[in-house]
Homo-oligomer: A and B are copies of this chain.
Amino acid sequence: MRDAYYDQLRAIVDDVVALTAMVRRSLASATLALLDADRALAEQVIANDSRIDQLTNDIEDRAFLIMATQSPVAGDLRQLVATMRIIADLERMGDHSVHIAKVARMREPAIAVPLELQPTIRSMADVADAMIEAASHIVAERDVAAAPKLERKDDEMDKLHRKLFRTLLSDSWEFGVEAAIDMALLSRYYERIGDHAVSMARRMVFQVTGTRELV
């Protein structure tokens, strides 16, 4: 009985790791679709989001079932509750990847991102991915000491966001209103993915230390 219980808990942890990998792949594909105007890849990101949603729901149902039937001790219960919040963050990151893929799809065969902004978008995607990786490391290893690294990445994201806005609002912006709106929204999607990574990590820091701030 208890063995089955620990197996179920471990299976949930494994599936959160799998979900994180799916979300990172979705984000990487969305960015590639965006920068290469790759319609097929964009469609794939959009279609595959239902698998992220399914796994999220499946993990949630199992976590609930353990809570309802196995009387987990407070520590395990806290972990299950944290897991439910963490997978909600991952699911939302998947949604933002879909938003990115939809911008790619809407503009192809043109590339939605003007050449001069492509390095910034690429950097935002890299920072977002590094933030998801750092957050899932914190969650999987309960390594709250790694939180400052995540904060630094968050600052980097903020700088990229401001740099991109300076370009959009400069007098030399020559791509018109539509491209400016696309860029502002894209920047926001990457930023929100980073916010969700911070929120994931905060959950774990709270579970381990009882404080709701990262550092």
Measuring CB to CB, which residues of chain A are less than 8 angstroms from any residue of chain B? 57, 64, 67-68, 71, 74, 77-78, 81, 84-85, 88, 165, 168-169, 173, 176-178, 180-181, 184-185, 188, 212
From B68, B77, B181, B212, contact of A57 by CB (8 A)? B212
Q: 15 pairs across A/B with beta carbons < 8 Å?
A: A64-B77, A64-B78, A71-B71, A81-B84, A84-B85, A85-B88, A169-B177, A169-B178, A176-B177, A177-B177, A177-B180, A181-B181, A181-B184, A185-B185, A185-B188
Copies of this chain held together in the complex: 2
A77-B88 CB under 8 A given contacts A180-B181, A185-B188: no
Contact assessment for A81 and B64 in the assembled complex, using a CB-CB cutoff below 8 Å: yes
From B74, B85, B168, B176, contact of A181 by CB (8 A)? B168
Contacts of A57 in B (CB 8 A): 212
Most chain B beta-carbon neighbours within 10 Å: one of A177, A184, A185: A177
A162 to chain B, nearest CB (A): 13
Complex A-B, nearest 7 residue pairs according to Cβ-Cβ distance, in ascending order? A181-B184, A177-B180, A68-B74, A68-B77, A169-B178, A180-B181, A177-B177
Contact assessment for B71 and A67 in the assembled complex, using a CB-CB cutoff below 8 Å: no
A64 to B84: give the CA distance in the assembly, Å: 13
Contacts of A212 in B (CB 8 A): 57
Contacts of A68 in B (CB 8 A): 74, 77-78
A67 to B80: give the CA distance in the assembly, Å: 11
- 7 further A-B pairs in the complex, CB-CB below 8 A; given A57-B212, A185-B185: A81-B84, A165-B181, A168-B177, A168-B181, A169-B177, A177-B180, A188-B188
A84 to B77: give the CA distance in the assembly, Å: 14
Contacts of A74 in B (CB 8 A): 68
Contacts of A176 in B (CB 8 A): 177
Contacts of A168 in B (CB 8 A): 177, 181
A184 to B165: give the CA distance in the assembly, Å: 14
